[in-house]
Structure 1
């Protein structure tokens, strides 16, 4: 049998892990099961990644990069600021509707990572990258259209992603297409209003 290098085996194992855990959940993703999914020895997984946590980290990175790439491809080149934000939000929502298992697996891995010290860095990297890319897209749209942001781009990104994560969880748990569309429109409207300084922030009680 021809030798397969670790560099070649790595994407194969990541895909096998995604396929397996998408079907059966994160708890089923042992190195033995992932190796069996690809039809290789368990030692191959450890040789390629070192530990199960390292493989899980690679899976999170792959899922994140795939989703980000789809949204970035949807970014319009000549639209206004509001239209750009709406287009990007719609593109991201489309990934939820068309690839719900990818979002579910990312959510499951994120919850698993919260209780796994070796995956804390991967979890921070996942949210950090998504936030940074969202902030970059907002900044680029503002600069292209001459739109002065009333709030830092990272704050706008965090606000949008917080609402979007909630909508995604609702779609996976209790879908309602009409309500989801209204909520997504409201979220985009709120982001645009916050970005334009048209949203009055209510003071919170002091603790």
Structure 2
């Protein structure tokens, strides 16, 4: 059998891990099972990545890159501000609905990372990357529409993503298509209102 370098083997193992864990869950993603998925020796996984956590981190990076690329492709070049926010929301929602196995896997890995110190950096990098891309797209949409933002782009991005995360959790626990569509439309309207200064902010006791 021809020798395959670690550089070539790395994306193969990442794909095998994604395919396996998307079908069976993170708990099934042992290095032995991932190696069997690709048809290689278990030692190949450890030689290529070192530890299971290093492989999981690479999986999170790949899933995050795929999600960001999909959102960036959805951003229209000549639309108004609200239309752009709606397009981004639609692209993310389609990812959660049509690519649900991969989206759920990323959510599952993110939750695992909360209790796994070796994955903490990957979890933070994932969220930073999504926030940064969303904030950039918000800024670009505002510039095209000549819309002055009432809040920093990052704050608007975090507000939007917080609402979207809530909708996806509801879809997992209590699916209701009509309520989900209403929630998505409301999120786009609320994000637009926050960005343009039309959303009044209530005082909330937090101490």
The two structures have a TM-score, normalised by structure 1, of: 0.98
Alignment-derived partner of residue 162 in structure 1: 162
Alignment-derived partner of residue 146 in structure 1: 146
Cα shift at 1:24: 1.2
Alignment-derived partner of residue 84 in structure 1: 84
CA–CA separation in structure 1 for the residues paired with 2:155 and 2:202: 16
Matched position secondary structure for 1:46: helix
> Aligned-pair RMSD on alpha carbons?
0.9
Alignment-derived partner of residue 55 in structure 1: 55
CA–CA separation in structure 2 for the residues paired with 1:99 and 1:187: 21
Matched position secondary structure for 1:3: coil
Alignment-derived partner of residue 93 in structure 2: 93
CA–CA separation in structure 1 for the residues paired with 2:74 and 2:128: 21
5+ residue gaps, structure 1: none
Cα shift at 1:206: 5.4
Alignment-derived partner of residue 137 in structure 1: 137
5+ residue gaps, structure 2: none
| In the alignment, structure 1 residue 2 sits paired with structure 2 residue 2 | yes
Cα distance change of structure 1 residues 205 and 43 upon mapping to structure 2, 3 Å threshold? same
Alignment-derived partner of residue 35 in structure 1: 35
How many pairs does the alignment contain? 207
Deviations 1:124-156 (A, max 9, x none): 000010011000100111111111000000000
Cα distance change of structure 1 residues 206 and 40 upon mapping to structure 2, 3 Å threshold? closer
Instruction: Spell out structure 1 runs of 4+ moving beyond 3 A.
Output: none
Contact 1:193 1:199 in 2 (8 A): yes
CA–CA separation in structure 2 for the residues paired with 1:139 and 1:148: 9
CA–CA separation in structure 2 for the residues paired with 1:104 and 1:201: 32
Report 1:192-203 matches (<5 A).
Answer: 192-203=192-203
Contact 1:100 1:172 in 2 (8 A): no
| In the alignment, structure 1 residue 177 sits paired with structure 2 residue 187 | no
CA–CA separation in structure 1 for the residues paired with 2:79 and 2:26: 40
The two structures have a TM-score, normalised by structure 2, of: 0.98
CA–CA separation in structure 2 for the residues paired with 1:126 and 1:206: 27
CA–CA separation in structure 1 for the residues paired with 2:206 and 2:171: 34
Alignment-derived partner of residue 102 in structure 2: 102
